């Protein structure tokens, strides 16, 4: 590659580790307002601000387009559009960075719910000593929806705690149930964990009917994407005690609006899309991109390549 | 055994499973007020109300004493007195029932602290969306003090989460550090878990000096006995940020008084002595006693026999 390629970075704060590309990339920054005008001159687009929908808005516009887009996130739903999907542009994601952190976060939520910790801290606030019996986690059953590396890490971690797990993916294969098994598995699960990518076939999959299938003692956890869940249906399921509790780390609209009823829904734990973000994560994301860039610049094949039709990196 | 033995039960509510002893034991109940007068006629004493100190008060009194005392608890500190220790009476405990539940509870607290869940729920109460970075648990270091079955279960569970663990007991042996290693281990621990019995050598072992040895990022957890900790020293260590946080499930005086400063200490999680008490625990305790009773009535050796000098069941 004779000319130094132009790397366009969509972000508010500059990503760490890009200093390593000094002399090997001309780094240009853009925000939502300037992305459209800067896209045509870019060879590579790094979507560092993974909460932004600016790519989806700017991509269908005029002019040349980068040959490669990398997003510093596991999900690609925020940037995909028909024009990008139909193009020759390669899309890669941050596969691998979030798996273990999210699995630990799910374990934290499952254990906190089983041990009734939120109620304990509510009672602490009132200086009330009220002994209760809590639940064992070992011997309970979890269904994890989403058979990518995040879902598989969740399964490993829950298994290590003695939980019996079932993994559900888009197609049945060894160790993975297909969608046809989902309702039967939901009907006997103590924990239902949503860890799937947002695609046309997963959008709204946790609806009133599916919450109705679950056990009254079950808890629902979402660490995937907010739009996997019909939020009104979850509220109804909690109000009617169809399920015992829920924990959401992701929401249809983020940040969650201050007037959302979800904040105050009894039995629902709200966290601000942080399940995968452990100390050092931005540095790891930066290092992962630099490594991919070096592959790309050397003409070697990229890894973490997203199947743009399916909306995720196909795995084993 | 010709005559039907008299089983004296110290409790408020009748224990489950005693129906199985119908015709094989004459069951008599006592409370703190009547224990002293009923002790002389009892062959066996079942201390079902394990929070009561009535045995320690009544035992030194007049008359014959039961040949066997069983307590439905892991600790025996609440019933031991010099007269009981010096007697021929065998003391057994509920060894085994609480191990895995307490280990899960410790894992729940460690994960909740690492993932900053208490702060998340505080923010939820204020409808505030505030993303933070949290900590990984895998790769951190824990010191577990107390090398009995509870401490060993805590080690197994934390190891399953990728935590590097060190177990500290009264005497060094394979896989167990002795007290001489404690300060060195505390100085590099992320999590310090107290799971030791309360004995003369463990009372007040977590004092100001020991909190001073710990890392500023460390968290201290107590699931053993409240008096392992000098509570004022813990408060001072938290106030001075010598350690990052703490979780206490046990206290020097239980229930914790409403005016205790511990309820409102920033960075301190208070729970009401419930770490081992999972659904079905009373039934398990009842079944365990019935099994021991059958051994005893058949003249077979008892298990879970407490070393009355040391104050716990010696193990491997």
Q: What distance in Å separates the CA atoms of residue A141 and residue A164, rounded to the nearest whole number?
A: 5
Stated pTM of the model: 0.96
- Both A35 and A104 in a single domain? no
Burial class (CB within 10 angstroms; exposed 0-12, middle 13-18, buried 19+) of B310? middle
- Both B31 and B170 in a single domain? no
The ipTM value here is 0.96
pLDDT attached to residue B138 = 98
- Both A209 and A284 in a single domain? no
A104 interface with B at CB cutoff 8 Å: yes
**pLDDT (tens digit per residue) in A92-109:** 999 999 999 999 999 999
Token pair, residue A140, equals: 């309970």
For residues B140 and B164, is the Cβ–Cβ distance under 8 A? yes
Are the beta carbons of B111 and A111 separated by less than 8 Å?
Answer: yes
- Per-residue pLDDT for B66 more than 90? yes
Tell whether B257 is covered by a domain: yes
pLDDT confidence bin for B302, thresholds 50/70/90: very high
| Mutate which: A13, A115, A161, vs B, most B CBs within 10 A | A115
- The CA–CA distances, whole Å, from A293 to A287, B144, B193 equal 10, 44, 44
% of chain B at pLDDT higher than 70: 99
Tell whether A252 is covered by a domain: yes
- Both A250 and A146 in a single domain? yes
Token pair, residue A271, equals: 């966290």
Tell whether B80 is covered by a domain: yes
- Both B90 and B164 in a single domain? no
% of chain B at pLDDT higher than 90: 97
pLDDT attached to residue A1 = 47
Tell whether B242 is covered by a domain: yes
Instruction: Give the domain CATH number at A36.
Output: 3.40.50.720
Domain interval for residue A18: 6-96+280-297
- Both B29 and B123 in a single domain? no
**Residues within 8 A of B (CB atoms), A 46-85 only:** none
- Both B122 and B262 in a single domain? yes
Beta carbons within 10 angstroms of residue B15's beta carbon: 21
- Both A118 and A62 in a single domain? no
- Per-residue pLDDT for B150 more than 50? yes
pLDDT attached to residue B1 = 47
Tell whether B30 is covered by a domain: yes
Q: How many domains does chain B have?
A: 2
- Both B113 and B219 in a single domain? yes
A266 interface with B at CB cutoff 8 Å: no
User: Taking Cα atoms as reference points, which of B243, B154, B231 lies closest to residue B195?
Assistant: B154
For residues B235 and B260, is the Cβ–Cβ distance under 8 A? no
Token pair, residue B294, equals: 């059958």
Tell whether A312 is covered by a domain: no
- Both B135 and B231 in a single domain? yes
pLDDT attached to residue B14 = 85
- Torsion region of A51: left, alpha or beta (phi above 0 gives left; psi -120 to 50 gives alpha): alpha
Token pair, residue B250, equals: 């046990």
Q: What distance in Å separates the CA atoms of residue B25 and residue B3, rounded to the nearest whole number?
A: 9
User: Taking Cα atoms as reference points, which of A38, A43, A35, A42 lies closest to residue A79?
Assistant: A35
pLDDT in tens, chain A (316 residues): 458 999 999 997 889 999 999 999 999 999 999 999 999 999 999 999 988 999 999 999 999 999 999 999 999 999 999 999 999 999 999 999 999 999 999 999 999 999 999 999 999 999 999 999 999 999 999 999 999 999 999 999 999 999 999 999 999 999 999 999 999 999 999 999 999 999 999 999 999 999 999 999 999 999 999 999 999 999 999 999 999 999 999 999 999 999 999 999 999 999 999 999 999 999 999 999 999 999 999 999 999 999 999 999 998 5
Across chain B, mean pLDDT equals: 96
Which residues of chain B make contact with A280, given a CB cutoff of 8 A? Answer: 133
Tell whether A121 is covered by a domain: yes
Are the beta carbons of A278 and B157 separated by less than 8 Å?
Answer: no
Place of tokens 């004296």: B8
**pLDDT (tens digit per residue) in B7-46:** 999 997 889 999 999 999 999 999 999 999 999 999 999 9
Say which of A121, A160, A279 has its CB closest to residue B161.
A160
For residues B103 and B152, is the Cβ–Cβ distance under 8 A? no
- Both B214 and B232 in a single domain? yes
| Mutate which: B114, B129, B130, vs A, most A CBs within 10 A | B129
For residues A49 and A71, is the Cβ–Cβ distance under 8 A? no
- Per-residue pLDDT for B316 more than 60? no
Give me the residues paired with residue A70 across strands: A46, A92
For residues A198 and A222, is the Cβ–Cβ distance under 8 A? no
Q: What distance in Å separates the CA atoms of residue A59 and residue B285, rounded to the nearest whole number?
A: 66
Distance of CA B147 to the CA centre of its chain: 13
Query: Each residue of B68-101: b (16+ CB within 10 Å) or e?
Result: bbbbbbbbbbbbbbeebbebebbbbbbbbbbbbb
Q: What distance in Å separates the CA atoms of residue A208 and residue A264, rounded to the nearest whole number?
A: 20
Token pair, residue B108, equals: 């729940």
For residues A73 and A93, is the Cβ–Cβ distance under 8 A? yes
pLDDT attached to residue B283 = 97
Tell whether B304 is covered by a domain: no
A120 interface with B at CB cutoff 8 Å: yes
- Both A144 and A184 in a single domain? yes
**Terminal alpha carbon distance of chain B:** 33
């Amino acid at each position: 590659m004779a000319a130094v390629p132009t790397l366009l970075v969509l972000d508010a704060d500059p990503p760490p580790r890009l200093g390593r590309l000094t002399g090997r990339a001309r780094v240009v920054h853009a925000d939502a307002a300037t992305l459209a005008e800067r896209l045509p001159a870019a060879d590579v687009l790094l979507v560092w601000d993974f909460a932004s929908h600016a790519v989806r808005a700017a991509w269908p516009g005029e002019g040349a387009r980068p040959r490669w887009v990398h997003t510093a996130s596991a999900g690609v739903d925020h940037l995909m559009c028909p024009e990008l999907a139909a193009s020759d542009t390669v899309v890669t994601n941050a596969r691998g960075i979030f798996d273990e952190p999210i699995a630990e976060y799910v374990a934290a939520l499952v254990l906190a719910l089983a041990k009734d910790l939120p109620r304990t801290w509510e009672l602490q606030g009132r200086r009330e000593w009220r002994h209760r019996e809590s639940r064992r986690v070992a011997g309970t059953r979890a269904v994890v929806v989403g058979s990518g590396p995040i879902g598989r890490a969740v399964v490993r971690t829950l298994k290590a705690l003695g939980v019996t797990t079932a993994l559900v993916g888009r197609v049945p294969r060894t160790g993975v149930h297909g969608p046809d098994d989902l309702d039967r598995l939901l009907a006997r699960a103590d924990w239902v964990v949503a860890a799937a990518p947002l695609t046309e076939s997963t959008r709204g999959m946790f609806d009133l009917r599916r919450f109705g299938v679950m056990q009254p003692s079950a808890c629902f956890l979402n660490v995937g994407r907010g739009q996997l869940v019909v939020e009104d249906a979850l509220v109804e399921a909690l109000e009617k005690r169809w399920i015992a509790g829920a924990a959401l780390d992701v929401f249809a609209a983020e940040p969650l609006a201050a007037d959302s009823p979800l904040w105050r829904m009894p039995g629902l734990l709200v966290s601000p899309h942080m399940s995968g973000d452990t100390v050092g994560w931005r540095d790891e994301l930066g290092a992962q991109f630099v490594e991919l860039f070096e592959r790309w610049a050397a003409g070697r094949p990229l890894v973490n390549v997203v199947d743009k039709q399916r909306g995720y990196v196909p795995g084993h």
